[in-house]
Amino acid sequence: MLGWAVCAVGAGALASHAAPAVFPVETAANAARALVWLSMAVPVAVAFSRSRPRGLLRVRAIDVVYGFVFGLLLRLTEGIVADVVVGGAAWPSTFTADGRLPATFPLDALAGSLVTPALEEAFFRGVVLVGVFSVVRRRMGASSAGIAAIAFSTALFVAAHELTAPRETSELVALALVGVVTATFTVGTGRIWPAVATHVVYNATGFALVAVGTLLA
């Protein structure tokens, strides 16, 4: 299952690059995003239907607090890293012809703030991390399994994003930190929702900064 999951996300990344050549210009971006989502959703559905750790989907109120605090810290850290690497990071913005946000921005922000984090965490933490942890624990024990699972799921998380769209160094560092924090939450709590909440806040604050930067430009 782990091998198929890795192959699936790789295929999704490649398919997203082929989308502009297959779909009309006005739908190519949405098609590419849908292909990436599908490449994660199918392995998640198959894996969760077969088995999953007890308590993985259990929800606790503290998960919201974890998400809010660590999501904001990760976003602030990304800004600090960008400032160090670039030497004065510019305020993020999106293309606009009239000074207003594109008509599709609200829907893109909603999808990117809710659907994408939920799918990515279900895939990278609920399938990949759990798979690596289960395999390594049988031979090397829980501590080594936790470290291996965090490292592997984070590396694949960063690689998948880089394959989908090349990133700046500061963005790759930020993605690695997101991967480590969310993976550590999953291993440490045995639940996936702290990771999902953190990822949601991180992505949502990114869209909020783009909106403000665009309107102030």
Percent pLDDT > 70 in the chain is 93
pLDDT means per 10 residues, the chain with 217 residues, are 87 87 83 91 92 89 96 91 70 61 86 95 96 91 94 95 84 93 96 97 92 76
CB 186 within 8 A of CB 192: yes
Q: According to the model, what pLDDT value does residue 56 have?
A: 93
Q: According to the model, what pLDDT value does residue 95 have?
A: 57
Q: How confident is the model over 21-48, as pLDDT tens digits?
A: 888 877 888 898 999 999 999 999 999 9
Domain residue extents for the chain: 55-216
State both tokens at 191.
């639940």
- For the purposes of burial, counting CB atoms within 10 Å of the CB of 166, is it exposed (0-12), middle (13-18) or buried (19 or more)? exposed
Helix, strand, or coil (residue 90)? coil
Q: According to the model, what pLDDT value does residue 92 have?
A: 62
What residues have CB less than 8 Å from 17, skipping those under 6 apart? 32, 164
59 half-sphere exposure, CB direction, 13 A CA radius: 4
